[in-house]
Amino acid sequence: MQTTDYQTRKDLRKAVATLHWTLVQLIDFKLQNPERVGDSKKILFLLDDWLKNGTLVVKFPSLYALDKKKTCFLSDRWADGTFSWAWKRKPNNSQELLELNSIVDITRFVVSSNGSDTWRSRLTVDGSFRVCDIRALIDSKLTVPVNNLTVWLHLVPIKCISFVWRACMRRIPMAVALSKKGINLSSISCKMCFMGMDVADYILLDCPFAFESLGWIFNWCDIHVHRFISTSNFVNFAASWGNYPKKRGIFIAICYGFLWCMWKARNDIWFNIIKVNPSKLADNVISLVFSWFKYRGNFGNCR
C-alpha cells in the first residue's frame, strides 16, 4: 500500500510539473511589470523589465552568460548607483566590454524610492491583478475557439449537451476520423444511405435519412425545414430561433434531442444492425424530449 501511495504521489507531482511546463510554453509568463523600484528586493535584475524598455537578458546576452546567478535580484547587483557583479570571469572581449559600458550608461539615471517594489499587471488597464483575467488568458491559449452558440440547458442531460458541443467541433468518433488514426474498418461509408462518408455533419444532418427525419421534427414544430451546411450552423439556428426565450429553450431541447437520437440510430446500425425509419426516429425524439420535460423541468407547449 505504501508503495502504491508513493507512486500515486510521484505521478501526481509529475502531472503537475507537466501542466506547469505546458502553461509556461503556451503563455507569456511575464504577466506583470515593475511599476516602481523601491527596495529592489523583489525585482529580478536580469529577467524583469524594470527599466521599462526591455529586459537586460535580451539587451545584454553576453553579460547574462557571464553572471553566476542569473536569477539574482536588483538589490544584489545594483544599489546607490553602483554595481556589485558576480562574474564567472571578468569581461574581456570587445562585445562583453561594450555591453558592460552600455548597461552602466542606461542604469545610472534610475532612481529608487522608499518602500517596497510595486508591480503592475499587463492584463488589465488599471494594472490590478485578478484571477479571472489569468483564467481568461489560459482558456484563450488552451481551448479551441468554436464558432457556435451551444446553449447549456438544465433541461437537457449534460451528456447530450457535451455530445452536441463535440459534434460542432467535429470531435466525435466517426468512421472517417478513426480510419485516419490507423484503425482498419470494413467501410467508411454512411450505413444509413450508402451515399456519403461517415462524417459528423453528413450523418447528423445531410444524409437523406437524417434530412427526412428532421423534416418530420420540423413539421411537428410547424417550422419550415431547410438544409444546414454543418452541425454548428444547425445549433446556431436553434439558439437564435424565435422571439420568446421559453419557446426557444424548448426548440433547442428538441434540436439537441434530434442530434442525440440520430447518433444513437447511427450506432445501432453500426454495432447492432438495427435500422429504424425516419418517422420512428422522429417519434423517439418526441418521446425523449417529453421525458426531459417531465423529469427535469416543466412541460410547455412547443407551438
292 in the same domain as 173: yes
Q: Which domain holds residue 12?
A: 2-142
285 in the same domain as 260: yes
Query: Which residue, chain included where needed, has cell 562585445?
Result: 95
**Which of 112, 142, 172 is at the close of a domain?**
142
- What is the number of residues in the chain? 303
174 in the same domain as 134: no
Position 303 in a domain: no
Which of the pair, 25 or 259, is modelled with greater confidence?
259
Phi first, then psi, for residue 25 (nearest 5°) are -70, -35
pLDDT score for 192? 85
128 in the same domain as 93: yes
Position 149 in a domain: no
8 in the same domain as 138: yes
**Structure confidence at residue 146 as a pLDDT band (50, 70, 90):** low
Please, are residues 271 and 203 in contact by the beta-carbon 8 Å criterion? no
Question: Using one digit for the tens of pLDDT, what is the confidence trace for 3-35?
Answer: 556 667 667 776 766 665 565 555 555 555 555
pTM for the structure as a whole: 0.56
What's the CA gap between 290 and 302, in Å, rounded?
10
**Structure confidence at residue 302 as a pLDDT band (50, 70, 90):** very low
Query: Which residue, chain included where needed, has cell 507569456?
Result: 28
Position 230 in a domain: yes
Position 147 in a domain: no
